[in-house]
Chains A and B, each alone.
Chain A
């Protein structure tokens, strides 16, 4: 059965060009980049090339890029470095809709005596920069706000927030894992201090990330050991993946325009097609400020895991904010923070496209979805005429 992959915010397929670029480093070019000999040294040069490629994608200086093992490590490192830079300041501001890599680390710091402000979001998942600024006080050491939300695709006004926080002695970090490669991200003329990236969201393999740290900002290593990454991140480099990440970044720079045009056109086609053919369906999140590849749609009165498993029968991959599919018993913290009614949260499905998505795939989903929704609604005790049950909370 062919796979229709519409879960690119979870992970992406490795681009064939990326795999090709990596191959020699998994075979003949196995030298350690830290070695003195030419055999290892040539690998070091290639890592520096990859660093430049990643830097170019966000218009940073190569020296501002530190390779890590994943987006989560980048986020943890950023938060930890801010905490260690200003040990006397004990207040952190973040949002309620962050990825667990930030959110749970903040919970962790909260248990260690930090005061954490979790900013609320509006019904469309938007944040209010004025409210954020009002939350700042003399104790604030770090503000961490994601660039774009992984579940809804809603984009936050990061440059504005960073600008308004500038020169106040507060570190500003953004988790840009979902944004980079999908929309233009340019750190040069902003006041962003730190920015997290991840390889596998932009068609590099899993297990490679990066952290941008603005020149001149104090930095504390999170992983301690050897002198790799200029002493900022110890551990022998994941060479092949770094090379792959570099290649993926280079490709992403050339396909940004495609994201804006063809990917977003297919996303809109999917969204409009589903809203037209499935009754009681609604889009979650601010559609005016949204990643071009993401749509989050709630199919009311039915449950997300059931929808996913029906789609799975056709080889269609998506994800859901429902409780049952999350591994915990609570539904999506993002949709709940937005105040989406429970009837809709449990039936939310995220479709996230990539530049590999085709129109045929989109049309296939549009064709199959109404039948799946109808069948599951027939099973459900809610939502039909004459059937008792809460219409809305």
Chain B
């Protein structure tokens, strides 16, 4: 038996905004009857203000799928499209007082339906299928989706990916591939365990900066025949030198900013990166 919160149970037993909107401005349809859950979201949108004036749903699925759908419609009503897009699957789960780990994919499905509906409305056409390589054949989950959900929810284990996307929950053959994707996303440190909370000694800090550059930055640059070299560290000022095709590259500003963000994420919040003249 699942441990559902009272809010999930209540919402499941008395869901709000059930049904279809005739002449809806946007429709988002995700999942399939084969996978065991599917959600069709209907939005009525005020063209001038971009405000969602009405939202309804139809859901095939378990109690948490129905509750997540109902919660989603409640949450987006009265929001502008941009505001609505700020909602995360965690917001949906939080609205319901939390979901069991194995049921997080229900909240992800809600968030996906919303995105699909809004992009259809903005783009004028429904994207037939999300792009990217299918990793999990049992549940038709793409690499792109696994990456996105992992980053948004800071997921680090294959089991978590299965809970959030169902990928790996069928035959299990793709689990090794999910592991590879996760290692690619979080190659150095698990997100919860970044050392930046800790006070580093100068020596530790320099070593960590060196490690981040070696493992996270240089491989990407080298793939494009560019390179970078650590020259010096003074306090929070990291001095680097561009090498190879990076030298004089029109995009080098972007490269340096990306490097700075990575170092800020993994080493210290106040890192500045300078390029040696």
Contacts and interface: CB of A to CB of B under 8 A. Distances in A.
Interface in B28-64: 29, 32-34, 36-40, 58-64
B162 interface: yes
Interface residues on B, range: 20 to 34
A216 interface: no
A388 to B, nearest CB: 8
Given A313-B13, A324-B61, A380-B58, A306 B66 contact: yes
B166 interface: yes
A262 to B, nearest CB: 30
Contacts of A84: none
A323 interface: yes
A360 interface: no
The 8 closest A-B CB pairs, nearest first, are A329-B169, A324-B62, A381-B58, A305-B62, A323-B36, A381-B40, A342-B34, A380-B60
Interface string A323-342: 11101111100000000001
B36 A379 contact: no
A190 to B, nearest CB: 37
B59 A380 contact: yes
Nearest to B32: A390
Contact of B169 (A301, A313, A325, A328): A328
Nearest to B162: A329
A379 B33 contact: no
22 contacts: A301-B33, A303-B61, A303-B62, A305-B2, A306-B63, A306-B66, A324-B62, A324-B65, A329-B36, A329-B169, A329-B170, A330-B169, A330-B170, A342-B36, A343-B33, A378-B18, A378-B19, A379-B15, A379-B18, A380-B59, A380-B60, A381-B38
Contacts of A223: none
Given A302-B60, A378-B18, 6 more contacts: A305-B63, A306-B61, A309-B63, A324-B36, A381-B38, A382-B60
Given A309-B63, A329-B170, A330-B169, A303 B36 contact: yes
Contacts of B63: 305-306, 309, 324
A377 to B, nearest CB: 10
B33 A331 contact: no
A346 B33 contact: yes
B73 to A, nearest CB: 12
A379 B59 contact: yes
A306 B33 CA distance: 14
Nearest to A322: B36
Contact of B60 (A327, A329, A331, A381): A381
Contacts of B12: 306, 309
Contacts of A111: none
A230 interface: no
A393 interface: yes
Nearest to B40: A381
B275 interface: no
A200 to B, nearest CB: 18
A389 B58 CA distance: 12
Contacts of A380: 58-60
Contact of A303 (B13, B18, B37, B58): B37
Nearest to A328: B169
B198 to A, nearest CB: 38
Given A329-B36, A329-B170, A306 B62 contact: yes
Interface string B102-130: 10000000000000000000000000000
A342 B31 CA distance: 13
A309 B58 CA distance: 18
